[in-house]
Structure 1
């Protein structure tokens, strides 16, 4: 679908752990997008209209449009948090090419915190509309601790429906944690994948994380053609 501006309605908000929240909006009849794409959301505020890009955390298979973000206390996020059901907002989209390539047979996701939003979109799409063949799927998922894992329950569902293998990497886990600790590193990837060069890596997050993951993938010897990135907060998005 070509990128276009349209007006829609705010439906509801679901608070999540770690200061995150998901916001749902009405999906116009006939509106289409691809899992992993992004849009610009313009909302009313006391100082006028404010705009910011987000990836869809919803899947095209769902009857609403959803985005998930951290409520940071900025003017924009405060206005977003104050939206009342029924408020009209403007969307500009869809855009972006951070989408699954059906030709890829082995897909590994690298994400941390709210950077998981386009990945949740892709996995929900695969779970709701299974294709004849589903790629082998691994998600390296970095978070603070066991209580700060966005969409944790859905990832369990994706593991059951899609054969997804989730590799959690926590920076401050509880004492009983037996998984990986710290950050996603080349050692973590090599410990979980026999041959990282055979996988296509989808990485989403803020620029510092993307740059760190580029170095990790370089150490792992992953070809440039097997590296796909989505920069959160990238200029011009």
Structure 2
């Protein structure tokens, strides 16, 4: 059974490209496209898609507001934010609003295909429990659904005192987006102090989720650069 996708983007050409990417991905079909928030909400009602590829910046309603409305209405449609918005506040809002993935434009087909695959695995892992059977799922399945596993390592279920899973997920997203990142760059991307950002990055190194290299420049200490494994 294929996963029906509604593509929401106000740029017609971008929406066409994203729709083509979806159609190239086995197990996914585009059921519709929307260029405004109001149109997206109407099509969710009529088409009942399994997944939204949702932009943040729309001409009438923010994609983040759409996500919030869907959750308030109790709609369980999966959401992947696909946007040029890099602000830490927007990323936090998407995370707390229940988006499964957050992908920054522009991107290559492989980037979207990777996120779609993770969504498919999460939805498939819960399929036996659908329909009100009351079937339990184990912790590893729960971790997968809640995004604790990723291509670039995992957010460990137990973090040191003072570190939160939500912020750790933001740090992971920033590291994945940049490929290689410093504590200063992480602090700017996520909205943390440099010292706090470094604590998260060093914890990823300690748990084996990331590796660090020293970049030597001019005078002074070398810069620590972090890359997810």
TM category (shorter chain) comes to under 0.3
Larger radius of gyration: 2
Q: Which has the higher helix share?
A: 2
| TM-score normalised per structure 1 | 0.26
Higher relative contact order (CA 8 A, sep 6+): 1
